[in-house]
Amino acid sequence: MRESNYCSVQHSRAALTLSPNHYDRRALDVTADLPLLNTLTHLSALTSSSSAVREVLTTDGGLERLIRLLDQTPRMNPKDRTTAWRWTLAWHSVVNVGIRGTERVRFRVEQAGGIRLAVTVLDGYL
């Protein structure tokens, strides 16, 4: 679990975030909006290009954290762009894992509740 007083002195950051070439599960546990948006932005790029990151997300609990982020998002206020941005980036990462992953990875997406979320999103268009 992420330590509440974590500090990254090398990067002059108060919270752990993902970079374009480094994945760490603890970065998904931050509660502040800016580090989480930074992490989700890099994660969406990593899940679209790296099969290793997609595999690790299914084994370390990162996929469940993304699904929880999507479930916890309240009804979106059109003026709250941060919430919409967070939801879109988390959704993009889950979709990348589900579409580009192996059969075992896709099965884990289904177990974590990704299909339920996809049905909910598609139901909004009917």
pLDDT of the residue at 41: 92
Residue range 46-99, pLDDT digits in tens: 999 888 889 989 988 899 999 999 988 777 677 788 888 999 999 999 999 999
- Residues 96 and 28: their CA atoms lie apart, in Å, by 17
The burial of 22, by beta-carbon neighbours within 10 Å (0-12 exposed, 13-18 middle, 19 or more buried), is given as: exposed
For residue 54, the Cα-to-chain-centroid distance in whole angstroms is: 11
pLDDT of the residue at 78: 73
Residue range 96-126, pLDDT digits in tens: 999 999 999 999 999 999 999 989 888 888 7
Triad 48, 107, 64: Cα angle to 5°:
70
Looking at the predicted structure, is the pLDDT value of residue 20 above 80? no
Average pLDDT over residues 30-59: 89
pLDDT of the residue at 79: 79
- Residue 1 banded pLDDT, cuts 50, 70, 90: very low
Query: What percentage of residues in the chain have a pLDDT greater than 90?
Result: 38
What's this model's pTM, rounded to 2 decimal places? 0.80
CA separation, residue 72 to residues 8, 11, 114, 125 (Å): 27, 30, 14, 21
Phi-psi region of 33 (alpha: psi -120 to 50; beta: other; left: phi over 0): alpha
Backbone φ, ψ for residue 79 (5° rounding): -85, -10
